Amino acid sequence: MGKRVYNFSAGPAMLPLEVLEASAKALVDYQGKGYGIAEISHRSKDFDAVMDETKSRARSLMGIPDGYDIVFSQGGASQLFITIPWNFLQGSADYVVTGEWAKKAAEAAKPYGTVNVLASSESTGFDRIPTGWKPSANASYFHICTNNTIYGTRWSTMPEHPVLFADMSSEFMARVVDVKKFALIYGGAQKNLGPSGVCMSIVRKDLYAKINKSVPKLFNYQVLAEQDSRINTPPTFGIYMLLETYRWIEKQGGIKAIEARNEEKAKLIYDAIDRAPDFYKGTVSDIPNRSRMNITFRLPNEALTDKFIKEAEKQGMTALKGYRTVGGIRASTYNAMPVEGCVALAKHMDEFHAANRT
C-alpha cells in the first residue's frame, strides 16, 4: 500500500487506517468463517452479535442511559430532516439556523407543521451562533445543528431545552456531550463514525407517544427501535464499520481523550490563522464558537488560494478547497485526522505566508 495522505475532506471523510484494515479483512473473511460480513443475513446470529456489540459500545462511549434507544437507518441526515418532523412535529417546532444544513432541516420540516425559525445568522454569512432568541411556549421540539461543516461554527455550549433535537452529523463522538440533555441526537456516519449510507439516532423513549399516526412503519422511530433497526435490511457493512470505529475510539482512551486531541489539532491551525491576520482571514467572527471539526479561512485572492491548495497537495494534504458555494479553504479535522496532519498544515500555512506576503 502506498503512503496515505492527510485527507481534510469534509465528508465522506478520512477514517482510521486500523478501522479500514479490520473492516477490509472482515469484508473478505469474517472471523475465519469463509464468508464476508457483507454476505450474511441481517437476521443471522453473526449479525445479532454485531448489532448488540455496536449498540453496547455506543452506550458505553457516550453514556447513553436506559431511557434511550439507539436506531440505525439507511440514507443520510438530509433524509432524517424529513423523517424527524414527520414523526414528531405536532403543531409547531422551533429551529435556530446556523448554516446550510440547519436551514435545510427547517425547510424540510415545513410540510409537517409550523416551523418557527427563532434566529438565523444567514444575514452575516453564518459567521456566528445567533443570540437573543427565546423558545416558543408550545413547540413540539427545539432543533439545532451542533456543528456547521460549511461555515465553521459550532455550539460550544449547548442550549437548554426539555425537548432538544440535535443534528450531530459532523461531531458525533468528537466531544463529550451529556445525552440526558437531549431528546434526540442524530447524524450521518460519514464524518467521524464510518462510511456514508448509514445514520445513527439516539432517541428518548417518551417521544414515541408523539409519533404521528400517518408515519408508515418503515419510517416510524418506535417500530424501528422495537425491531432492532431491522424492519427491513439495514446497511449491514456500514454498521459493522461503526463497530470497528467504536473499538478504535475506546483504544484511544474514549471520547474524552478524542476531544482533547481534537482541541489540540484545531488550535494548531487556528494559531496559524491568528499569526497572520493580514493574510489568513478566518470566516468565523464568533471566536468562542469556532468549530473544532471544520476550520474555514480565506486568502487574499483566488490565485493565492489555488496556489495554496496545489502546494499542499504536493506535500500530501488533500481536499482543502472550501465548499462549492463559499470558496476559500476548509480543513476538516475529524477524529481520524492525526495531530501530525494538522502540524503539517500549520507549517505549510506559515511557510506559504512567508513566501507570498506582500
Q: Which residues are catalytic?
A: 101, 167, 191
Three-class DSSP category at 244: helix
Q: Which three cell numbers stand for residue 331?
A: 480543513
| Radius of gyration of the chain from its Cα atoms, rounded to whole angstroms | 21
* CA distance linking residue 202 with residue 204, whole number of Å: 7
In single-letter form, the type of residue at position 65 comes to P
Which pairing describes strands 184-188 and 6-7: parallel, antiparallel, or unpaired? unpaired
In Å, what is the CA distance from 302 to each residue of 115, 205, 283, 349?
38, 50, 15, 16
b/e for 39-48, b at 16 or more Cβ within 10 A? ebebeeebbe
In single-letter form, the type of residue at position 40 comes to I
In single-letter form, the type of residue at position 192 comes to N
Residue 66 is given by DSSP the state T
DSSP character string of 253-311? T-HHHHHHHHHHHHHHHHHHHHH-TTT-EES-S-GGGB-SSEEEEE-SSHHHHHHHHHH
Contact status, residue 149 vs residue 170, Cβ threshold 8 Å: yes
Q: What angle do CA 158, 160, 161 make, to 5 degrees?
A: 125
* CA distance linking residue 169 with residue 150, whole number of Å: 13
